[in-house]
Amino acid sequence: MRVARVIPCLDVTEGRVVKGTNFVGLRDAGDPVELAARYDLEGADELVFLDITASSDNRDTTVDMVHHVADQVYIPFTVGGGIRTLEDARRMLRAGADKVSVNTAAVERPELIEEIAAEFGVQCVVCAIDAKRVSVADRPWTPGDGWEVYVHGGRTPTGIDAVGWAAEAVRRGAGELLVTSMDRDGTRAGFDVELTRAITDVVNVPIIASGGVGSLQHLADGITDGGADAVLAASIFHFREHTVAEAKAVMARAGITVRPPSSADFGGTGPIA
Amino acid sequence: MTRPLVAVLDYGIGNLHSAQKALERGGADARLTADHGLIADADGVVLPGVGAFGACMDALRRCGLEQPAVDAAASGRPFLGICVGMQMLFTASDEDPDAQGLGVIPGQVMWIPPGPKIPQMQWNVLRLTKPDDPMFAGLGDEPWFYFVHSLHGVPDDAPIVAATVEYGTTLNAAFRLDNVFAVQFHPEKSSRPGLALLANFVGICARSGPTDVANREVTA
């Protein structure tokens, strides 16, 4: 049985969650532990923390944050952003992260994926791919219409074909791919399901669709039309437009198997933390 | 009641932190340890594991924990294997055919049959073949747990399977062999059901601890 996962994504800087998080009754809207516990209670299957700390000098606070989250929240979580070396990955995993996601550094030096996978296993290496549509008309060097990999938070085009890079990342040991459409990110127009479909067609590891969610139906579309195994969203959850439980109800009505949110209530009524 | 001492075998692999913390939440005095004396004295022993079978077996040997693990499993004290920790209890694994397992559970660890995506990286619902096992107490008929694995255990003695899961085909998800309980899923990452299962283990450790054994002899 294939069970689709719903994954809220939290942006953090220097150990604090940033961007709006309109949970009612939080003591501290920026506390990653408190937020993670709330999402757990709602039925989130995993969490992604994206470290947007500008300076790598301040990453120690992120390691501390990972430690606190791992102490108190018992669902899997991934840490991405600024993982440039095996040592960066090691610190996050030792602090209690279940997976690390690599992006720019892996494009620049794909051996990084192999190094992390060799030490910790392929299951803890997520390759994040930021991709933007390109056409032959725009870029004569492309063999056909497709998607180009962008790095540095989506600012820098690489000339690399996203579908080809996805296949290489998996070959080198990525156990999962987090695929973000740069065209859709922030538009609320829905996932680029053709992008996720193009990638699921060439790899046999789980794919997380990301970028563009504006409604709960979009989450369902990512699974049914995009062929993704998991869907990632930030703003629709943070601003309390929708809960994870509502997302799962819509997905279930679309015929998608999800872990029932009620199972998250098992054995208690309050957040674990 | 004093907190039962639970030794979580520390052989230098990935994330053992969550398992230890979750056991403490379940009421244990849980220690990450490679100390033979502490392991021998513990009320219960947990063998976690993540990554590849051969690498984990190598690390376990390098830390001198192979024999203590086997002894603990044979001691009659509650013993819990988690994920690759569960797989290492088997005789051998198709993942690393040259690596020998601990042989506590006679059988072979085999690849998930072709079809679905590998690894299975998702929550999935258990079908309990031993619903009365005390490890499943209070979990309901269809508890959900988080799985990350590419192989699963196939014991020589099929009746020791305590739970299965559907993923392309039926995979074995939990095993009960006397004092040894072993799970393919990650209870320490399975939110409330996972914490409840670990609390059940801690409770079993408390009941089978030295104090209780003495009482039992008196009343018998």
* Complex confidence, ipTM: 0.91
* Average pLDDT score over chain A: 89
Do B97 and B163 form a contact (C-beta atoms < 8 A)? Answer: no
How high is the mean pLDDT of chain B? 93
Q: B16-52, pLDDT tens digit by residue?
A: 888 999 999 999 999 999 999 999 999 999 999 888 8
Assess if residue A144 is contained within a domain.
Answer: yes
| A74/B17 CB distance under 8 A | no
- Asked if B140 is an interface residue toward chain A (Cβ–Cβ < 8 A), one would say yes
Residue A196 counted as domain residue: yes
- Asked, for residue A267, whether it belongs to a domain, the answer is no
Say what the pLDDT of residue B212 is.
45
Provide the annotated active-site residues of B: 83, 186, 188
Q: Is the pLDDT of residue A163 over 80?
A: yes
pLDDT, residue B220, reads 32
Look up the CATH number of the domain holding residue A13.
3.20.20.70
Q: Does some domain include residue A93?
A: yes
- More confident: A179 or B218: A179
**Residues spanned by the domain of A150:** 5-257
User: What number is the average pLDDT over the span A74-94?
Assistant: 94
Number of domains chain A is built from: 1
A residues 173..192 contacting B (CB < 8 A): 175-176
CB pairs under 8 A between A and B: 116
HSE, CB side, 13 Å, CA atoms: give it for residue B108.
8
Strands (E), A143-262: 146-151, 156-161, 176-181, 207-210, 230-233
Report yes or no on A268 lying in a domain: no
Please count the helices (runs of H) and the strands (runs of E) in chain B. 7, 13
Quick check: B47 and B80 in contact, CB under 8 A?
Answer: yes
Of B15, B50, B196, the CB nearest to A267: B196
More reliable by pLDDT, B216 or A192: A192
More confident residue, B208 or B95: B95
Bridge partner residues of B46 (DSSP) = B8, B80
Task: Report pLDDT for A20.
Answer: 57
User: What's the average model confidence in pLDDT over B202-220?
Assistant: 62
- Residue B108's CATH number: 3.40.50.880
Q: Tell whether A132 is covered by a domain.
A: yes
Distance between CA A120 and CA A237 in Å, rounded? 31
The residue-averaged pLDDT of A84-99 equals 93
A96 to chain B, any CB pair closer than 8 A? The answer is: yes
pLDDT tens-digit map of B89-119? 999 999 999 999 999 999 999 999 999 999 9
Q: Is B193 on the interface with A (CB under 8 A)?
A: yes
Q: Assign residue A55 a region: left if phi > 0, alpha if psi is -120 to 50, beta otherwise?
A: beta
Check if the beta carbon of residue B122 is closer than 8 Å to that of residue B147. yes
Question: Is it the case that residue A255 has pLDDT exceeding 60?
Answer: yes
Disruptive mutation site among B23, B87, B121, B127 for chain A (greatest number of A CBs within 10 Å): B121
Nearest to A35 by CA among A44, A43, A26: A26
pLDDT at B219 over 80: no
Q: Would A271 be classed as within a structural domain?
A: no
Full residue range of the structural domain in which residue B190 is found? 5-219
- Any domain includes A263: no
Give me the number of domains chain B comprises: 1
In this complex, the residue of A74, A93, A268 whose CB is nearest that of residue B15 is A93
- pLDDT, position A273: 42
